Amino acid sequence: MANPQMEDKIEGGYILLSRRLLDSGVMMGAPILLKLWVWLLLKANHSPYKNIERGQVFTTIEEMQGACAYKIGYRPVQPSKDQIRSAYEALTKSSMITTTKTTRGLIITICNYDYYQNPRNYETHNEKVTKTLRSQSTPHTIYKNVKNDNNDKKEKKLFLEFVYLTDDQYQKLLSKFGEQEAKARVEKLNNYIGSKGNKYKSHYHTILTWANRDKEKPLIVTSTQKAVASASSSLDIDKLCSEKLGKIATKDMIKAILREIPQEIWWKVDNFLKKRYSSGGNGFAEAERESIDEARQNRDNFKRLAEGIGNIKPRNAQDLNHNVI
């Protein structure tokens, strides 16, 4: 391709992309977040047209699926509708966009579009150099440096699609649980928020609360699960999943696999599903939730049965049959 001449004009126009994006949750989140965000900026109207205002995009989930598709080798991979919804909901929660449903699709409004797309609001190179020289000529105190460090630690970043933690909070989770379990607990909260839409004041303290709850109320573990747990280090999850899952992984098939392994390594199944299936395994979060609810129900049933033993005073065999289920 020939080099463009200086007088050549680039067709299609352009957008301004602030370097603040480097420190945003979009860069820390799933790759689909960044791709969808840039696509929305490129598609947004730069002037009103057909009832769509400046900074707005009329689109559909199907169009966003196509825009965020990618290739692995020669095979095209398209994100699922749930992944698209999770992505634009994450942008909404970050106050980067707002959405309005219509009969034919969505109107997405990019927040502060006029501010970020106005070149006058960006400092020039000379202004930046002047500010740098001015700051270098001003002595920094130890207190000021410590204060800046504290601000960095308090700034929450986006992990996965919905979980917000500060760097300090994430390091505490790593210290408390270890890297694998910390990631698994963050992913568990992320999946729960994505499936339920619940809001929590502190994601860090929610993870700790769930950890304490799991410790106080352990799930019923079968003898098969105990045997697998003792040998979990040598357990080949990829082989297990490959043998039990075909081209389509249904929720019930996933639940069947989760019953065979301890809950502590369920995240390995999720990782396998994400690698094998572009949609992430067709409902891992829901299968996980139902498996936990099922185990707790079994635990509660056994508890009630145990409490009832010794309190039953049947008068005859027929009464005994009625009282014991």
Cα 55 off chain centre by: 26
* Pick from 162, 164, 158: nearest CA to 196: 162
In the chain, % of residues over pLDDT 90: 12
Residues with Cβ within 8 Å of residue 17, at least 6 apart in sequence: 38, 41
Residue type, 95: S
Phi and psi torsions of 11, nearest 5°: -75, 155
As to burial, measured by CB atoms within 10 angstroms (0-12 exposed, 13-18 middle, 19+ buried), residue 64 is buried
Lowest mean pLDDT among 69-73, 206-210, 233-237: 233-237
In the chain, % of residues over pLDDT 70: 75
**Which position has the higher pLDDT, 159 or 312?**
159
**Whether residue 233 has pLDDT greater than 50:** yes
Give counts: helices (H), strands (E), the chain.
Answer: 16, 7
**Which position has the higher pLDDT, 68 or 242?**
68
**Which position has the higher pLDDT, 235 or 30?**
30
The per-residue pLDDT for 138 is 45
Task: List, for residues 5-24, the tens digit of each pLDDT value.
Answer: 656 778 878 888 888 888 77
Task: List, for residues 184-197, the tens digit of each pLDDT value.
Answer: 888 888 888 877 77
**Whether residue 219 has pLDDT greater than 50:** no
pLDDT band at 254 (very low <50, low <70, confident <90, very high): confident
The per-residue pLDDT for 60 is 93
The per-residue pLDDT for 278 is 65
**Which position has the higher pLDDT, 59 or 25?**
59
**Whether residue 108 has pLDDT greater than 60:** yes
Half-sphere exposure of 282 (CA within 13 A, CB side): 13
Lowest mean pLDDT among 223-237, 275-289, 292-306: 223-237
pLDDT band at 2 (very low <50, low <70, confident <90, very high): low
Q: How many CB atoms lie within 10 A of CB 145?
A: 10
**Whether residue 315 has pLDDT greater than 80:** no
Residues with Cβ within 8 Å of residue 303, at least 6 apart in sequence: none
Domain 19-120 has CATH 3.20.20.120: no
DSSP 64: H
Q: What is the dihedral of CA 79, 85, 87, 89, to 10 degrees?
A: 180
The per-residue pLDDT for 279 is 59
Query: Are the beta carbons of 155 and 166 closer than 8 angstroms?
Result: yes
Q: What is the pTM of this model?
A: 0.41
DSSP 138: S
Residues with Cβ within 8 Å of residue 259, at least 6 apart in sequence: 222, 225, 291
Task: List, for residues 122-181, the tens digit of each pLDDT value.
Answer: 876 555 545 544 554 444 433 344 444 455 446 788 888 888 888 889 888 988 888 888
**Whether residue 320 has pLDDT greater than 60:** no
β-bridge partners, 101: 106
C-alpha triplet 108, 111, 117: angle, nearest 5°: 105
Query: Are the beta carbons of 185 and 156 closer than 8 angstroms?
Result: no
Average pLDDT over residues 25-31: 80
Phi and psi torsions of 160, nearest 5°: 60, -125
Summary mean pLDDT of the chain: 76
Give the Å distances, CA to CA, from 36 to 156, 158, 201, 229, 278: 21, 16, 27, 40, 17
pLDDT band at 107 (very low <50, low <70, confident <90, very high): very high
Domain locations along the chain: 19-120, 167-216, 223-308
As to burial, measured by CB atoms within 10 angstroms (0-12 exposed, 13-18 middle, 19+ buried), residue 126 is exposed
